[in-house]
Every structure is written in C-alpha cells, then in structure tokens.
C-alpha cells in the first residue's frame, strides 16, 4: 500500500447533528438524510444533495456533509444567534 487514496478517505467527517434549526438529520446506509423546509432547497442543491421525493427528504453523501452543515449554520436565523440560542442538538 502506498498510502495514497482518494481525498475523501483522508478527510475527517464532522459529527452528524440531530438537527440544525428546522433541519433534521439521519442516516440511511452511506447517505445522510436531511429533512428541512423548502426555503433551504437551494442550499441543499449547492451542497450536492439529491432530492428523494417519496420520503420528502434530501440525501447527502458523507463527504458533502461539512459544506452542508456550514451553509445551514450560516443561514440559521440571525435572531437565534443574537439571543445566544444554540439550535443544534447532538
């Protein structure tokens, strides 16, 4: 083994929160599931998520979790952040 691999093999995966604001997270095999209001659709598309219409949820590859979490946290309602209310549940 040469120690070489794909970049995703060497990246640290962030822990999966139960929720960020109104968005709920879960696991489905190798996918991360995300259920959130439609206003977050552009954000999920930008993060590379795939819509699963039957279950009304987004499917996200593990290596795309970091960008999705950062985007969701960035867009969490400003009033909650100003009130120092943490909307993440671990």
Helix, strand, coil % (nearest 5) of the chain?
Answer: 35, 25, 40
The verdict on residue 29 lying in a domain is: yes
The verdict on residue 34 lying in a domain is: yes
Mean pLDDT to the nearest integer, 20-44? 93
The verdict on residue 1 lying in a domain is: no
The verdict on residue 88 lying in a domain is: no
The verdict on residue 87 lying in a domain is: no
Phi then psi for residue 17, to 5 deg, are: -75, 160
Is there a contact between 43 and 67 (Cβ–Cβ < 8 Å)? no
Structural domain boundaries enclosing 49: 16-82
Split into its structural domains, the chain has a count of: 1
Q: pLDDT per residue over 57-73, tens digit each? A: 999 999 999 889 988 88
Burial label for 25, CB within 10 Å (0-12, 13-18, 19+), is: buried
- Stated pTM of the model: 0.71
């Amino acid at each position: 083994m040469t120690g070489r691999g794909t970049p995703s093999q060497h990246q640290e995966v962030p822990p999966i929160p139960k929720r960020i604001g109104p968005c709920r997270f879960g696991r489905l095999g190798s996918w991360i599931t995300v259920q959130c209001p439609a206003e977050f659709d552009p954000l999920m598309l930008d993060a590379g998520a795939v819509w699963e219409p039957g279950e009304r949820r987004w499917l996200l590859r593990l290596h795309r979790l970091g960008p999705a979490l950062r985007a969701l946290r960035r867009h969490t309602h400003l009033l909650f952040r100003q009130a120092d209310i943490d909307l993440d549940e671990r």
